[in-house]
């Protein structure tokens, strides 16, 4: 028993040191590979270490001098010593092991410094316990961050000054350590005044000048190597300054930018970066922040009498000044302050305990126990998740999935945490992804954006979407990547406990990764054009307007929006458009058909014509049937059944033994029915036949082809183009002009109405491979080929004999040509699509040609969708 007591007494210091080393190692080492999630900056510093070892470069991308390289040079040395980046699992795990060692060494220095200043072990023990259990310290000091390395060097510098015993070697080592701190993270410069204060206190009067000059010369000589490096590379000064040539990065230019970053609001302003981060720090670790701040304030007052308190106070105050200066503050900037807050708390606590008079040292020890216990309890209570939670598994699973499922040459936008793991072989035969690029550099590094990606976001094939990428898109800093994201679709997602709303760009934590694949070019066009169309032509409540025609709304426009939204799986827009249509246009008391016109009458917009247009009724009903198939809601089918029944009763007529689709509910004019040939849609009728067997929709489809043949064979010709409008005698079936009834100068021409017939017939060719559709389209193949070959465009209006009425062309009418040739001469269709539709699409904004042309934007979309095989028959394929 006595031997044990003697051993403890004789080796008390060693036992305490062993305790703090083991304690700090356990608190920071346990679960460090799983919590917190791998952060973007960690990957940046690991990738720069990788670049040093594999490429002989300071950074894998353009080096912007955003930080001096001493930190990742140390990481590179560590990796070299430990056998590579994957000795401990992922590359960041290797860096985290180094951070653990640095934390343990910093804890040792913290203990020694606290004991030295207070002349009491208790101060060091309390300081280390607070520092090691601080949730903020655990959260940030596990991560591979330059601030952790810089803090270690500051403590090394302070240690050598305090334990110098007037030796020049100690001053030399202190100066070197400070130089390394600045070369690791520039904000170490804010610790210069307190270090100089300690230097002043630790030197005799006759040596002060020499000591100061020596310390300054040594530290700043080391720091100057950074500037010398930039000077030798002609990257010290900004371009065209003092003979600096060419367009290049600049160390001084970057320093100027770094010094001016931030919103420059006073720290007490609720919008300031300090204020918001301070609230975050308090929410994560109120014990360390509040106790440390109070201890610093009290120590400042007491330092008038107890001068040894000035040193920890000065270190804390000068870094508080850095945080409060009104410039950029990032959440992890708190890292260097945490050990100094712990130092102030430990020393002050010990001082207060010592000032209480005890006759028995055991009473003193008993009082120390609850102090240590409370310092343990509160941080542990606030930070249990840091020892149990797994936030990194989704990130590791995403790397493994990419390695196992994607091609090595795929272009992938990534968060930097995965850079080294994707660019290096973890084991023999492991894939290497040379085109996996950090999303920030894809946007901001000219060599990558303009060189590798040619400023074309469509070159991105996959996005490994992360918390940081989503956040930056939400802040509006990543237009390039956001364009790619908007035009991509989710492949797979790994997620833990975070709240995640990708559509609204909300993520509360980084414990998730989602892989998105860029759509093929045609899908990009279709989805991008839909976003533009919604933003410019569809009101938030579902009304489609034509801005070039006094903002009128037509049943046709509502129907187009319904079809497009169901094809693009946009249920929200579909429901909004259908609700507005029902509330404002489906108001006929005698049936469920859609009134065709809503326009301005006096000072307000209202229903201007209650008659229906059969094409809009057909398209609306078809969209409802597709919506039922896609989203499985009975209301869509019920609404469609009602409309199908009324279309047959009110818009289909029987003439001389054949069914005819008329223009709508007001088609009868005397002895004739008005017909718009472009309303004829055999493919739609065949779908209606499956819903409404009591009416002979299949015969209507068959009779429609007979009608089209009769139209094309008028006047002794076999291939007359269909006119925009015509009339059919209700008794004889005779086809004649509708000019008497339709106030349109082009009523007898083939133009902005009639072209749609080619598209509708082409749908029947595509969905049903109906030979009658192919035969009909073939009638006009030679005409279209000749027009394109001779003119490289298609006129907007022709006579029915194929003579040009105008010289201008339009996207809308060219859709008719594209649709016909797609099934009769694909080579010509390819040439027209690439020369017109692809060429005239603005990928940056999402529109074709004239962005205000509502009709062109719709029909260019429908033509593109048909050509690119994105108009399947959803009734049969779902």
Q: What is the pLDDT of residues 338-374, one digit of tens each?
A: 999 999 999 999 998 887 655 555 555 555 555 555 5
Q: What is the pTM of this model?
A: 0.78
The two structure tokens encoding residue 42:
């960690």
Beta bridge partners of 675: 726
Q: Report DSSP state, residue 49.
A: H
873 token code pair: 């028959």
* pLDDT (tens digit per residue) in 729-739: 999 999 999 99
Residues forming a β-bridge with 597: 554, 609
SS3 86: coil
What is the C-alpha to C-alpha distance for residues 85 and 90, in angstroms, rounded to an integer? Answer: 7
Q: Which helix (H) or strand (E) holds 675?
A: strand 672-675
CB 259 within 8 A of CB 319: no
Side-chain half-sphere CA neighbours of 872 within 13 A: 9
Collapse the DSSP code of 436 into the 3-class scheme (helix H, G, I; strand E, B; otherwise coil) and give the result.
strand
- Note whether 273 and 256 are within 8 A (CB): no
**DSSP labels, 679-729:** G--HHHHHHHHHH-TTS-HHHHHHHHHHHHHHHHTGGG-S-PPPPS-EEEE
d(CA 337, CA 315): 8
Output the CA angle 202-204-209, nearest 5 degrees.
95
Tell me the angle at which helices 682-691 and 755-768 cross, rounded to the nearest 10 degrees.
50
Q: Which residues contact 428 (CB under 8 A, 6 or more apart)?
A: none
Dig out the tokens for 475 from the structure. 């802040």
Q: Residue count of the chain, please give it.
A: 878
pLDDT of residue 327: 84
Q: What CA–CA distance (Å, rounded) separates 45 from 462?
A: 23
Distances (CA, A) of 469 to 199, 452, 509, 530: 45, 20, 12, 24
DSSP assignment of 799-863 equals: -TTS-BS-S-B-HHHHHHHHHHHHHH-HHHHHHHIIIIIITTEETTTTEESSTT-HHHHHHHHHH
Q: How far apart are CA 76 and CA 98, in angstroms?
A: 11
Look up tokens 């040609």; give the residue: 849
Instruction: With beta carbons less than 8 A apart as the criterion, state whether 418 and 43 touch.
Output: yes
Going by their DSSP bridges, the two strands 462-465 and 500-501 should be labelled as: unpaired
Predicted pLDDT of residue 373? 56
Separation between Cα atoms, residue 30 and residue 387, nearest integer Å: 6
What distance in Å separates the CA atoms of residue 585 and residue 607, rounded to the nearest whole number? 7
- Rounded mean pLDDT for each run of 10 residues along the chain, 878 residues in total: 62 87 94 96 97 96 94 98 96 98 97 95 93 93 97 98 84 96 96 95 84 93 95 86 72 85 82 90 90 94 93 96 89 95 94 69 54 53 76 96 97 96 95 96 93 92 96 91 90 91 90 94 89 96 94 97 96 97 95 96 90 98 97 97 98 97 97 98 98 97 97 84 97 95 92 97 97 97 96 96 95 97 97 95 91 96 97 89
Find all residues with CB under 8 Å of 92, minimum gap 6, and list them: 38, 42, 43, 46, 144, 417, 420
Chain-centroid distance of CA 241 in Å reads: 38
């Amino acid at each position: 028993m006595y031997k044990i007591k003697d051993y403890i007494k004789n080796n008390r210091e060693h036992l305490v040191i062993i305790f703090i080393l083991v304690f700090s190692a356990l608190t920071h080492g346990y679960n460090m590979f799983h919590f917190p999630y791998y952060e973007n900056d960690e990957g940046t510093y690991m990738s720069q270490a990788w670049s040093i070892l594999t490429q002989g470069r300071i950074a894998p991308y353009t080096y912007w001098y955003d930080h001096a390289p001493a930190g990742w040079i140390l990481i590179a040395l560590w990796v070299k010593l430990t056998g590579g980046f994957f000795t401990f699992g992922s590359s960041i795990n290797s860096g985290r092991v180094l951070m653990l060692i640095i934390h343990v060494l910093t804890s040792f220095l913290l203990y020694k410094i606290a004991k030295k200043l207070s002349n009491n072990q208790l101060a060091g023990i309390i300081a280390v316990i607070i520092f090691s259990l601080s949730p903020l310290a655990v959260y940030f000091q596990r991560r591979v961050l330059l601030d952790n390395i810089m803090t270690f060097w500051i403590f090394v510098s302070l240690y050598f000054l305090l334990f110098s015993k007037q030796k020049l070697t100690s001053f030399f080592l202190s100066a070197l350590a400070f130089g390394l701190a600045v070369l690791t993270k520039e904000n170490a410069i804010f610790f210069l005044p307190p270090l100089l204060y300690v230097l002043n206190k630790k030197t005799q009067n006759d040596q002060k000048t020499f000591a100061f000059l020596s310390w300054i010369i040594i530290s700043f000589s080391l720091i100057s190597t950074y500037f010398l490096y930039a000077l030798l590379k002609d990257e010290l000064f900004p371009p065209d300054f003092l003979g600096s040539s060419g367009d290049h990065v600049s160390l001084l230019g970057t320093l100027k930018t770094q010094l001016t970053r931030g919103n420059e609001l006073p720290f007490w302003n609720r919008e300031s970066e300090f204020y918001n981060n301070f609230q975050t720090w308090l929410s994560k670790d109120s014990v360390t922040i509040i106790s440390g701040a109070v201890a610093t304030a009290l120590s400042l007052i007491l330092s008038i009498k107890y001068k040894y308190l000035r040193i920890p106070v000065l270190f804390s105050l000068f870094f508080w000044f850095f945080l409060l200066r009104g410039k950029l503050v990032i959440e992890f900037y708190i890292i260097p302050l945490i050990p100094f807050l712990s130092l102030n708390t430990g020393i002050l606590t010990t001082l207060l305990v010592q000032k209480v008079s005890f006759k028995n040292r055991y009473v003193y020890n008993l009082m120390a126990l609850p102090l240590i216990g409370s310092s343990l309890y509160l941080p542990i209570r606030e930070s249990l998740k840091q020892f149990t939670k797994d936030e990194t598994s989704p990130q590791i699973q995403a790397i493994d999935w990419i390695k196992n499922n994607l091609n090595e040459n795929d272009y992938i936008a990534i968060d930097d945490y995965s850079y080294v793991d994707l660019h290096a072989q973890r084991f023999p035969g492991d894939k290497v992804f040379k085109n996996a690029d950090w999303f920030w550099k894809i946007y901001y590094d000219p060599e990558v954006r303009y060189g590798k990606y040619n400023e074309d976001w469509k070159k991105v094939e996959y996005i490994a979407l992360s918390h940081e990428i989503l956040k930056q898109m939400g802040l509006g800093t990543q237009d390039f990547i956001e364009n790619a994201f908007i035009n991509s679709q989710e492949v797979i997602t790994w997620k833990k406990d975070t709240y995640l709303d990708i559509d609204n760009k909300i993520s509360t934590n980084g414990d998730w990764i989602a892989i998105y694949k860029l759509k093929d070019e045609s899908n990009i066009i279709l989805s991008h054009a839909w976003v533009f169309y919604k933003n410019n032509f569809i009101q938030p409540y579902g009304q489609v307007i034509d801005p070039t025609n006094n903002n009128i709304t037509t049943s046709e426009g509502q129907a187009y929006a319904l079809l497009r939204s169901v094809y693009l799986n946009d249920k929200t827009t579909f429901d909004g458009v259908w609700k507005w249509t029902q509330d404002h246009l489906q108001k006929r008391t005698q049936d469920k058909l859609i009134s065709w016109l809503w326009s301005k009458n006096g000072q307000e917009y209202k229903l201007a014509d209650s008659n229906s247009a059969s094409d809009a009724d057909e398209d609306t009903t078809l969209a409802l049937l597709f919506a039922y198939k896609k989203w499985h809601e009975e209301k869509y089918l019920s609404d469609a059944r009602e409309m199908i029944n009324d279309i047959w009763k009110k818009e289909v007529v029987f003439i001389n033994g054949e069914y005819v689709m008329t223009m709508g509910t007001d088609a009868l004019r005397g002895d004739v029915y008005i017909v718009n040939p472009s309303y004829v849609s055999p493919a739609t009728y065949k779908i209606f036949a499956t819903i409404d067997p009591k009416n002979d929709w299949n015969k209507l489809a068959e009779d429609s082809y007979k009608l089209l043949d009769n139209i094309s064979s008028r006047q002794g010709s076999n291939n007359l183009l269909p006119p925009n409008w015509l009339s059919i005698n209700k008794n004889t079936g005779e086809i004649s002009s509708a000019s008497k009834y339709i106030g349109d100068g082009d009523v007898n021409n083939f133009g902005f109405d009639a072209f749609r017939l080619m598209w509708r017939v082409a749908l029947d060719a595509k969905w049903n491979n109906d030979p009658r559709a192919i035969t009909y389209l073939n009638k006009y193949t030679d005409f279209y080929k000749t027009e394109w070959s001779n003119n490289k465009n298609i006129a907007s209006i022709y006579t029915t004999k194929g003579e040009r009425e105008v010289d201008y062309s339009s996207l809308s009418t060219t859709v008719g040509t594209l649709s016909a040739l797609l099934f009769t001469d694909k080579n010509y269709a390819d040439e027209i699509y690439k020369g017109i539709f692809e060429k005239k699409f603005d990928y940056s904004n999402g529109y074709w040609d004239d962005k205000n042309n509502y009709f062109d934007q719709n029909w260019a979309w429908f033509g593109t969708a048909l050509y690119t095989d994105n108009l399947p028959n959803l009734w049969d394929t779902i």
